[in-house]
Amino acid sequence: MARPARGHEFLTAAITQAGQAKTISELRMAQALLLPLKFGLSLDDTSVVVGRSKSWTLRLRTRFGRIQSGQEQPKTKKGLRNRARMTLEEEAALLAPYLEQAKQGGVIVVPPLKAKLELAIGRPLAVSTVYAMLHRHGWRKLAPDKQHPQSDPAAQEAWKKNSPKRSPKPARHSTGPRR
């Protein structure tokens, strides 16, 4: 015989949250508690309605009770973008000295900036993440590759092939027998 559903003390809160839910996770948590208690559904039927497995439905129900009793805080976003570690303002404050220095010299050197960002965030970053951050904050200046100090541009020009331009007409190929 199955155990009876618990959480009758949170029934009114579940009804309220089901009506005012702004995210699907809030609605699912309320439904996981509300459906067995108010409508007598089993855990199997509740999991079908909620759209999760039985174990997840049980976790949602337990989590709803813990949030209502104050044992757990509801998860909320801190106003960050997806997978972001900093807000745009924090990024701008961290990049400000580099961008100011770059306005005078015209170039941002990425490896020292990457090291400083890794210290601020507390985890390693890819170089592409640093370039994406610079792009997000409006830095578009690209520096050309360096030239070797012993290179000779005149010798390089002389080395280039000076072949005549090709004719725009295709080459004629004989398709018949040779005479």
Q: What angle do CA 177, 175, 165 make, to 5 degrees?
A: 130
Query: 144 CB contacts (<8 Å, ≥6 apart)?
Result: none
| Range with lowest mean pLDDT among 14-23, 50-59, 61-70, 139-148 | 139-148
Residues 125 and 118: beta-carbon distance below 8 Å: yes
Say what the pLDDT of residue 21 is. Answer: 87
Q: In whole angstroms, what is the distance from residue 178 CA to residue 15 CA?
A: 94
What is residue 13's three-state secondary structure?
helix
CA-based radius of gyration for the chain: 33
- The Cα–Cα gap between 19 and 27 comes to 8
Tens-digit pLDDT profile for residues 81-129: 777 778 888 889 988 888 887 777 667 888 888 999 999 888 899 999 8
pLDDT of residue 79: 62
Q: Which helix (H) or strand (E) holds 137?
A: none
Chain-centroid distance, C-alpha 76? 17
Is the Cβ–Cβ distance between 32 and 44 less than 8 Å?
Answer: no
pLDDT at residue 2 is higher than 80: no
pTM: predicted TM-score of the whole model, two decimal places: 0.44
Return the domain boundaries, the chain. Answer: 8-69, 88-136
Length of the chain: 179
